[in-house]
Amino acid sequence: MVVQRVLPSEEAEQLLALVRELARDELAPNAAAYEERAEFPRETIRLLGRSGLLGLAYPEEYGGGGMPYEVYLQVLEELASAWAAVALAVSVHTLSCYPVAGFGSEEQRKAHLPDMLGGELLGAYSLSEATSGSDAASLQARARRDGDSYVVSGTKAWVTHGGYADYYNVFCRTSEDARGGVSTLLVPADAAGLHPQPPERKMGLRSSATAQIVLDNVRVPAQRRIGDEGEGMRIALSALDGGRLGISAVATGLAQAALDAAVGWAKDRRQFGRPIADNQGVSFLLADMATGIEAARANYLAAARRRDAGLPYGPQAAMAKLFATDTAMKVTTDAVQVFGGYGYTTEYPVERYMREAKVMQIFEGTNQIQRLVIGRSLLA
Vertex 8: Cα angle to 314 and 305 (nearest 5) = 10
Do 52 and 127 belong to one domain?
no
Do 367 and 261 belong to one domain?
yes
Do 128 and 249 belong to one domain?
no
Do 363 and 241 belong to one domain?
yes
Total domains, the chain = 3
| Residue 204: per-residue pLDDT | 97
Q: Where are the alpha helices (DSSP H) in the chain?
A: 10-22, 31-37, 42-50, 69-82, 84-103, 106-118, 232-268, 280-308, 314-339, 350-360, 367-379
Q: For 238-246, what is the mean pLDDT? A: 94
- For the chain, the straight-line distance linking the first and the last C-alpha, in angstroms and rounded, comes to 42
* Percentage of the residues of the chain whose pLDDT score is greater than 70: 99
Do 271 and 176 belong to one domain?
no
- Which of 83, 118, 153 is a domain's end point? 118
pLDDT tens, position by position, 114-172: 999 988 899 999 999 998 877 777 899 999 999 999 999 999 999 999 999 999 999 99
Do 84 and 109 belong to one domain?
yes
Q: Give the residue among 236, 213, 218, 241 at the shortest CA–CA distance from 226.
A: 236
The CATH number that applies at residue 33 is 1.10.540.10
User: Would you give the DSSP letter of residue 62?
Assistant: G
pLDDT tens, position by position, 281-323: 999 999 999 999 999 999 999 999 999 999 999 999 999 999 9
Q: Tell me, yes or no, whether 349 lies in a domain.
A: yes
Domain hosting 110: range is 10-118
Cα atoms found within 13 Å of the Cα of residue 321, Cβ hemisphere only: 30
- Which of 94, 118, 142 is a domain's end point? 118
- Which of 78, 95, 118 is a domain's end point? 118
Q: Average pLDDT, whole number, for the chain? A: 95
Do 163 and 84 belong to one domain?
no
Q: Tell me, yes or no, whether 46 lies in a domain.
A: yes
Q: What pTM did the predictor assign?
A: 0.95
Which are the catalytic amino acids? 364
